[in-house]
Amino acid sequence: MIEMLSYDFMQRALLAAVVVGTISPLIGVFLVQRRLALLGDGMGHVALTGVGLAFLVGTAPVPTALVLAAIGAVVLEIIRSRSRTAGDLALALVFYGGIAGGVFFTSLASGKSSTALNQYLFGSLSTVATGDLVGLVIAAVAVITTLGIFGRQIFLLALDPDLAHTQGIRTSRVSMLLTVLAAVTVVVGMRTVGLLLISAIMIVPIAAAQQLSRSFRATALLGVVLGLASCVAGLTVSFNLDVPPGPTIVFIALGLFAMCAALGLIVRRTWHRRERVSETATAGS
């Protein structure tokens, strides 16, 4: 750990991982509640086309990916609001188109090998530049601030859109906002976790947390703890074994999920037993 921190690039990578581990589950909890767990994947694929285009025309990959992902988010949201089945199909089309575009444009670009693309697909320890870091922190602060302001409205929307409407919430706007937040989060995480796996760090910590929690707030907070732990531990392992950080982080998150699921099973069984005992006691009294 100490040796790892003596490298400048590792300090930057670690800070980026902390940012990703914090904001991803915060967005993921709303996506899971809205049953949009795969939306982050769609955003990641669109962002990949952005990276390919950036290689081709020579712009900076992060802003280009952000613009593409944001446009993709808005288009997906419009299609989804029209019809549920069309939304599902649109998501599928976006998956294929995103990957195809990313690989196609990267191949066209001169001097960019598949290694360059791989760094964006599965994350890389060495690609977080100081300039990127500033952008990441600004984006993360923006995401958290937006959640602070609109979080309650997004929660109500995710609970039931009709109910949200009858509380004066502009449901289509708030829904769009959540999709754009997901797009921003995907781009924030693409350096560390990679575009193919960024969605996992939004969803898996939440899936793990809800094995043990009884409230939305607790799920979100525990999700952040598990997300942070996965990112920091994954980065450390990645450094020591010289493997890409994305898959390592996701493996650790999945391991935490398995542990939480097992623990949840035991805890629930104990509760049930206790309830049964107390019911018998009440009935007997």
Partner 1 sequence: MAARDLYDAGMTAAGTTDGGAFPSFHLTNGQVDYEGEAVFSHLSLTIQPGEFAAILGENGSGKTTLMKALLGLTPLSSGSSQIVGVDVGRFRDWTRVAYVPQRLLSAGAVPVSVLEVVRSARTRPNRLFMGNADKTAAELALRKVNLWGRRHDRLDALSGGQQRRVMIAHALAKGADIFVLDEPTAGIDHESQRQLADVFSTLRDDGATVLLVTHELGVFSRLATRVIVMQRRGARSVAYDGPPPAPAHLADHAWHHSNELAPLPEPSGLLEP
- Residues 149-188 as x/- pattern, contact with partner 1 by CB under 8 A: x--xx-xx-xxxxxx-xxxxxx------------------
Which lies closer to partner 1 via its Cβ, residue 127 or residue 210?
A: 210
Long-range contacts of the stretch 92-96 (C-beta < 8 A, 24+): 94/42, 94/45, 94/46, 95/41, 95/42, 95/45
Choose which of 8, 58, 214, 282 interacts with partner 1 (CB under 8 A). 214
Cα–Cα–Cα angle for 188, 189, 191, rounded to 5 degrees: 100
Taking CB under 8 A as the binding criterion, the range among 59-67, 118-126, 194-202, 210-218 that sits at the site for partner 1 is: 210-218
Q: Would you say 113 or 167 has its CB closer to partner 1? A: 167
How many helices (H) and strands (E) the chain has is answered by 12, 0
For partner 1, give the closer residue by CB, 106 or 210.
210
Q: Is 116 helix (H, G, I), strand (E, B) or coil?
A: helix
Q: What minimum distance in Å lies between the beta carbon of 72 and partner 1?
A: 24
Q: CB-wise, 47 or 203, nearer to partner 1?
A: 203
C-beta closer to partner 1: residue 101 or 223 = 223
Which three-class secondary structure state does DSSP give residue 124?
A: coil
Taking the complex as a whole, the smallest distance from the CB of residue 76 to partner 1 amounts, in Å, to 19
Decide: 202 and 40 in contact? Cβ < 8 Å: yes
| Amino acid present at 143 | V
Q: Tokens 């802003």 correspond to what residue? A: 63
Which is closer to partner 1, CB of 78 or CB of 243?
78
Among 175, 199, 219, 248, the residue binding partner 1 under the rule CB under 8 A is: 219
Q: Which is nearer to partner 1, 169 or 196 (CB)?
A: 169
Answer whether 5's CB lies under 8 Å from 237's CB: no
HSE (side-chain half, CA atoms, 13 Å) at 203: 16
Near partner 1 by CB under 8 A, which window of 38-46, 53-61, 86-94, 207-215?
207-215
Site for partner 1 in 92-121 (CB under 8 A): none
Are 38 and 199 a contacting pair, CB within 8 Å? yes
Q: DSSP H helical segments within 83-212, as ranges?
A: 84-108, 114-122, 130-159, 161-165, 171-189, 198-209
At its nearest, how many Å lie between partner 1 and the CB of residue 219?
A: 5
Q: How far is the CB of 256 from partner 1 (least distance, A)?
A: 17
Stretch that binds partner 1, among 18-26, 86-94, 130-138, 217-225 (CB under 8 A): 217-225
The CA distances from residue 230 to 18, 192, 201, in Å, are: 10, 12, 8
- What is the distance between the alpha carbons of residues 285 and 281, in angstroms, rounded to a whole number? 6
Site mask for partner 1 (CB under 8 A), range 33-72, x = bound: xxx-------------------------------------
20-39 residues in contact with partner 1 (CB under 8 A) are 29, 32-35
What are the residues binding partner 1 (CB under 8 A)? Answer: 29, 32-35, 149, 152-153, 155-156, 158-163, 165-170, 206, 210, 213-219
